[in-house]
Structure 1
Amino acid sequence: MEIKEKILIVEDEFIVANHLKMILERDNFKVIGIASSVTQARNMLAQQKPEWVLLDIILQGDETGIDLALDLIKSEIPFLFISANTNHSTLEAVKKTQPYGFLVKPFRPKDLLVMLDIARYRHGLENQNKANVNTIEKQQLGFSGIIGKSPLLAEVLSKISIVAPTETSVLITGESGTGKERIAHAIHENSSRKNKPIVVVNCAALPLSLLESELFGYEKGAFTGAHSRKIGKFEQADNGTIFLDEIGELPLNAQVKLLRVLQEKEIERISGSETIKVDVRIIAATNRKLEIEVANGNFRLDLYYRLNVFPIELPPLRERKEDIEELARYFLEKFATADKKIKSFSPKVLDRLLSYNWPGNIRQLEHLVERSILLNSGDQITQIDLPSNTVLNTIPQQADLQSLQEMEKNHILQVLNSCEGRIYGPEGAAAILQISTTTLYAKIKKLGIKMEHF
C-alpha cells in the first residue's frame, strides 16, 4: 500500500509518543523520528524535512512546542498540536500560531486520524487558493447581494470561490450585522448542491427545550403534544446545506449530537429507534470567540475543529469604508418605492456615512437607509439620523476595544520601556514576560516592533 506523508512526532512522554507512532504507521504514514525537546526536534528538522509535525506543548527543556511552532511557520511546515493543556492562555497562544488542528489528550486513534485527514484536506485547499488567487474574477462568480470592491471583501470572495465547490464544512465568523447569512447563501449557490435546499437554523432563537426536536425531529408520541412525526432540519436539508447561525449558542448536549452528524453522517429522531443517514453540508456562523468558549467549557474542542475546517472571517464595515457608498446606494435602490423615488444622497450625508463607525455594521446601514427614505422628501436624501457618538461611547463598543494582537504589542512595548530595551538576563524583558528570548524576538518581529518605538 502506498506510503502517506512523512511525520515528525515531538512528544516528551515515551508512552504517548510510541502510541502515536503505532497509530500513524498502521495507517501508512511514515514517522521519521520522535523528539522529546525543541532542541532535538530542530536537529531532526535540519536533517530531514517532514510533511507534517505532531507537536506537544510542554516538552523537555526551557522551550515549548509553541516556540518550535514559530520555526515551523518560517519553514512552511504544517503542524498540529496534541496536548492536555486547554486553559485560556494556552489556547490563545496556540491560536496565534494557526495550527491545522488541536487534539486533546487522552484521545482515540480515530480522533487522531480524522484530525489529520481534515488538516491535510484544508492544507491542500489553502495551496490551491494561493495558486488561484489572481485568476478568479468576481464577475465569474454568482455572488448576488454581496456588494463592494474593497480588498478585504475581495479576500472573502476569493475564499468562497475556493471552498464553495467542495464538500468542506465552513465556519463563518464576524461581528453581528456583517452579512454571515449572505455569505452562507453564496457558498451554497456556488456549490454542486445549489439545486437542493439550504435550511437556515438560528440556534440563538430556538428555546433549549425545542432545539433538539427542531434539528433532529421526533416520532409521534415522543412527548405531550407530539401528535405526529416531525421531520427535523437535518432531514429537510438532505442532499443540500444546513446553515447553523449563532452556533456558539448551541448547548453542550446538542453539540454532542451535532458532532455525531459530522462524524457518522446520521441522525436519530427523538424517541426514534431508526438511524437515518443524511447527506448534508454544514455551514456554521458565530459572532462569539469560540476559542474563549472552548476554554470556558461552553463549546466542545473536537466540535470546534470539526467545524473550523475552512474558516472565513468577515471584516466589520468600519474596516471596509470604501464599500459604504456602494452599499448605501444599493439599499437606496432596494427600498425606493413609487411614492418615494429618491435617487441619491447629498454630499453632506455621504460624508457623514463615511465618517461614522458603524457598530451595527451592514445591517445598521441597511435599516438606516430604509428609515431615511421614509423621513425624507424630494429625490435626494439630505438629512440622516445617525446615533450620537456620545451615546455610543457610554457603552464599550467593539470598535473601541483592542484586538489581542494590539494588547500584546502594547504590553511588550511597556515591558521593553521599563527595562530600557534589555531582552536578556534576569531583569530583561523575556524574564519579566516569562517567555524565552527566542519567543520574544519572534513576537517583536511579528508585531512590527522597532527600536525607535521604545
Structure 2
Amino acid sequence: MNIRILIVEDQFVEANNLRIILRKAGYVVCTIARSVSEGLKIIEDEKPDMVLLDIYLKGNLTGIDLAKTLRDKSIAFVFLSANSNKQILDAAKATKPYGFLVKPFREKDVLVMLDVAWYLHRQNQGPISNSKPSASSLAGNEFKEIIGASECMRDVLDNVKIVGTSDISVLILGESGTGKELIAQSIHRVSSRKQKPFVAVNCAALPANLIESELFGHEKGAFTGATDKRIGKFEQGNEGTVFLDEIGELPLELQVKLLRVLQEKEVELIGGRTKKIDVRIIAATNRNLEEEIVAGRFRLDLYYRINIFPITLPPLRERKDDIVSLANHFVNIYARKENKMITGVADPVIQSMLNYDWPGNIRELENLMARSVLLTNGPIINSLKLPGQSKGTTLSPQGLIKSMTENERDHILVALERCSWRIYGQGGAAELLELNPSTLNSRMKKLGIEKKYSRNQGN
C-alpha cells in the first residue's frame, strides 16, 4: 500500500492498537508521537502521508494546533477524540479534517474512514488516476428518480457514488422537502446491499411510547399489551440499509441504544434478548445537530458515529436551473394520473416559478404542480397560484419577491388551511410539513400565526 501514517496519541494502549490495525491492513506506520513537538519532528524526518490525530495531547499544545500545520503542509488528517465540548468541536472542524474517529476504535471503522479520507484528500490535490467515474456521468436505475443537472446536484450525486460503494454511515443534511430519502435510496441502490431491504423510518412520526418497540422490537409479553412478538426495523433491515429520517427527533434514551447498534452491531429487544445484525445506517435531519448537542438534546458520541460522511442537499432556491425539469417531471406524472393531455408549462408561469423562493422546496413544487394539473383544462398550464397570493390571481413574471420569513409564513398557512388547522396526528399540518409538532408550534408563535380550532378538532 505504501501509505505512511503517523499516529499522534498520548495513550500508549490506544496508539498501539491503532498501529496493529494499520500494519495488518498494509499501511506503513511511522514512529508514534505523544505530543505536538514530537509530531512535528517525525513529520520532518519520516514524511507521513496521513495523520491520525488525538485532540488532547501531552504538553501545552493540542491536536488542533498541529492540525493547522498539517493543513498548511497539505497532509491529510483525521481526528481521534470525541470527548470535547461545542467550542472544541467548532475549533476542530475549522481545521477541515477529513473525518473523526470515536474511541474505542473498531477495526472496520478505522479502515473505512482511512479509505474515505485518503480518497477525498487525493480529490483535493487534483486529478486522480484510475479514479472512480463521476456519478453525474453514469446512466442507470440508481439515479432514475433524481431530476436535475445543476452543478450542486452533480456534486451531490458524485458524493453518492463515492460513499455508496463503501459501508460507512452517512448523514444527509438539508431543509424539509429537499429529497433526503431519495438520496438515501440512491446510496442503497449503488451499494453492495442493493438486493437486500431498504427500511425507512421517520423518527419524528413514531409515537413516543412506541418508538423503542418499533425500532428494536419486543418479545411477546415483554410489557402490557405485547400480545405478539414484534420484529423491529433494524432486524427487518438485516443485511440491508436502515434510513433514519429526522434523527434529530430521536429521544436521548433511544440515542444510547442506537449507539450500541452502531458500535456492537446488535440490537436489544424489549424483553432482554439481544440479536446480532448487519445493517448500514443512513441518517437525515433538517436540524443543526451541533446546536442540539449544545442544548443537551443530542449525544456528541452519536453525532460522530453518524457524521462520518455528510452530504448536504441544496434547497430548491439554490438550484433554479433544475426548476423547469422538476416542474415538467411532476406535470407528466400527475397528467397521467388524471388522464389529461398536458404537454408543458407556459413561459410566464415558468418565470413566476423562477422568481419564487420555494420555502417548501421540491415537495412544495410537486404539490403545486399536482394542483395545477387538476385545475388545467387545456394542453398548457397557463396560470399558477403561489402561496401568499390573493384568491384568483396569478403571480406575474415581474411580481414582487417576498422575504424568506414571509414565504415561510405563507407556506405554513397553506399547510394549516389544507389540514383544517389540525396540527397533530395523522393528516395534520406537522406531518404534511414533516416537522415535529412542537417545532411547528414554535414557528407559528414566532411568525405570529394564531391557532384556529374547527368543530371536529381538539388540537
Which TM bucket (shorter chain)?
A: 0.7 to 0.9
Aligned length: 384
Following superposition, the deviation at residue 32 of structure 1 comes to 1.9
- TM-fit CA distance, 1:272: 3.7
Contact 1:54 1:82 in 2 (8 A): yes
The equivalent residue for 1:71 is 69
Q: 1:57 to 1:67 in 2, by over 3 A?
A: same
1:183 corresponds to which residue? 183
Q: Which blocks of at least 5 consecutive residues in structure 2 are unaligned?
A: 24-28, 389-400, 410-459
Shift of the 394–257 alpha-carbon distance from structure 1 to 2, 3 Å rule, reads same
Identity of aligned residues (%): 47
Alignment-derived partner of residue 441 in structure 2: none
Structure 2 partner of 1:335: 334
- Aligned ranges for residues 116-195 of structure 1 at < 5 Å? 116-126=110-120, 131-134=131-134, 137-140=137-140, 142-195=142-195
Native 8 Å contact 2:265 2:276 kept in 1: yes
Distance 2:406 2:17 in 1: 56
Measure, in 1, the Cα distance between the counterparts of 2:341 and 2:133.
41
Residues of 1 paired with 2:353 and 2:271: CA distance?
54
1:373 Cα deviation from its structure 2 partner: 1.7
Cα deviation, 1:114-163, whole Å, max 9, x if unaligned, reads 66334213224536875225586232463111001111111111122222
Query: Equivalent residue for 1:215?
Result: 215
Cα distance, 1:205–1:306 mapped onto 2, change above 3 Å: same
Give the aligned residue type for 1:320.
R
Question: Which residue in 2 is equivalent to 1:267?
Answer: 267
Contact 1:242–1:283 at 8 Å: present in 2 too?
Answer: yes
Number of the residue aligned with 1:278: 277
Alignment partner of 2:278: what SS? coil
State which of 67, 88, 91 in structure 2 corresponds to 1:90. 88
Flag the 1:112–1:201 CA change in 2: closer, same or farther, 3 A. closer
Runs of 4+ in 1 over 6 A off after TM superposition: none
CA shift in 2, pair 1:165/1:132, >3 Å? closer
2:219 aligned with 1:225, yes or no? Answer: no
Deviation of 1:64 after TM superposition, in Å, equals 5.3
User: In the alignment, is the contact (CA less than 8 A) between 2:53 and 2:63 conserved in 1?
Assistant: no
TM-score, with structure 1 as normaliser: 0.75
**In structure 2, C-alpha distance between the alignment counterparts of 1:280 and 1:97, rounded to whole Å:** 32
Whole-angstrom CA distance in 1 between matches of 2:51 and 2:307:
19
Q: For 2:173 and 2:306, how far apart are their aligned partners in 1?
A: 11
Q: Which amino acid aligns with 2:152?
A: L
Secondary structure at the counterpart of residue 192 of structure 2:
coil
Alpha-carbon separation, structure 2, partners of 1:350 and 1:73:
45
After superposing the two structures, state which structure 1 stretch, 189-198 or 388-397, moved more.
Answer: 388-397
Matched residue type, 1:171: L
Partner of 2:450: none
State the one-letter code of the partner of 1:365: L
Match of 2:206 in 1: 206
Q: 2 CA distance for matches of 1:125 and 1:224?
A: 51
Name the counterpart of 1:405.
none
**Once the 2 structures are TM-superposed, how far is the Cα of residue 167 of structure 1 from its aligned partner?**
2.3
1:290 aligns with 2:299: no
| 5+ long unaligned stretches in structure 1 | 398-454
Please give the per-residue CA displacement for 1:72-97, whole angstroms capped at 9, x wherever unaligned: 22433222335576332332232232
For residues 28 and 166 of structure 1, the distance between their equivalents in structure 2, rounded to whole angstroms, comes to: 18
**1:140 and 1:334, CA in 2 relative to 1: closer, same or farther beyond 3 A?**
closer
CA 155–294 in structure 1, closer or farther in 2 if over 3 Å, else same: same
